[in-house]
Structure 1
Amino acid sequence: MKFNQVVSLGITSVVLFGSLGVSAIAPSPLQAKPLTSSVQLKNQTTLAAGAFVTVEPGHPTSGAATIIEKDGKRYLELSQGFDTGSGPDVQVILYRDGVVPLNVSEQDYVTLAPLESFNGGQRYEIPANIDLEDFDAVAIWCRQFNVTFGYAAFR
């Protein structure tokens, strides 16, 4: 009988002191400080976005395009997943319609810049004199052969 009392006392002690130990080492509710980059995102606004579709099968194009406004300037950003076929004299253009044909007419687009890279994230500043209300898509276009590789219609 004495053995059972000792065992019961031991178990009770373990449970009692064990639960006290848990509360003694419980984490305190600390607030994490926000990262600097999240503060920078507060002054960035997404104006439009779209996913690329291929127009010319020999130059498959994929990824996403986003127009943002940050610190009073507008930018076209191509996603890290952006990828297109290579070619000569490839340009980034804003197009007036939501569907960009294989061959474009000069009055239907404005050139932003030569394409920096055939893949990966990129950013192009949009000049202040361009009215974005006049354009419904961005396209990757070969000026030399007047061939649209792909485009992203803005939502």
Structure 2
Amino acid sequence: MKFTSLLILSSLLIFSVGCSPEAAQQPASDTTSPSAETEAEPEIAAEPEAAESAEATTKSGTFVPGEAPTEGTVQVVTENGESYLELDESFKTSDQGPDLFVILHRSDDVLATTEPPAYPLEEGDYVILGPLEEFTGAQRYPIPAEVNLDDYQSAVIWCRQFNATFGVAKLEG
């Protein structure tokens, strides 16, 4: 009886060690060079794809506060022919505003061309990219293909409900 239990326990132990991730990876490190050549081929094939999907930053800026504390940097990147507005991981704005949006504005000095404390915007001077996803952290917003980036000089965090500008980043580059 004890021998049978010991045999079953030993078998289970051998089986579990044989199926562990470390054991499964170990034989791969002992492979011959033809297998290593096979692994190199996908990397070579992936290089042209990586070159095609490379990002190019065209404009960037740093947020300054308007009606609410807003900080961080923003950049316009082009990837595979598509443009995006990216807020970096240091982005932060007030969580006190309802209805916050990320927009592009025509003015290169939004705060100087509007009136405090709300810094209201006029229709036609901006294009809405989308609702603000998070009050902090990295985020990415697609820029519609029909938007001519040369016409827009600033990225803005804007409260649509109260027409209040929370923060602005002048885009340069």
TM-score, with normalisation over the residues of structure 1? 0.72
1:97 aligns with 2:114: no
Unaligned ranges ≥5, structure 1 = 1-33
Unaligned ranges ≥5, structure 2 = 1-42, 112-118
* Residue number in structure 2 paired with 1:4: none
Which one has a bigger Cα radius of gyration? 1
* Residue number in structure 2 paired with 1:146: 163
2:150 alignment partner, one of 133, 138, 154: 133
Following superposition, the deviation at residue 95 of structure 1 comes to 0.2
> Does the residue aligned with 1:106 lie in a helix, a strand or coil?
coil
* Residue number in structure 1 paired with 2:75: 66
* Residue number in structure 2 paired with 1:123: 140
Identity percentage over the alignment? 44
Quick one: which amino acid aligns to residue 80 of structure 1? E
Q: Can you list the C-alpha shifts for 1:3-40, whole angstroms capped at 9, x where unaligned?
A: xxxxxxxxxxxxxxxxxxxxxxxxxxxxxxx9x8xx46
C-alpha separation in 2, matches of 1:40 and 1:147: 41
* Residue number in structure 1 paired with 2:58: 47
Q: Is the 8 A contact 2:155 2:168 kept in 1?
A: yes
> Does the residue aligned with 2:71 lie in a helix, a strand or coil?
coil
Quick one: which amino acid aligns to residue 64 of structure 2? V
Quick one: which amino acid aligns to residue 135 of structure 2? F
TM-score, with normalisation over the residues of structure 2? 0.64
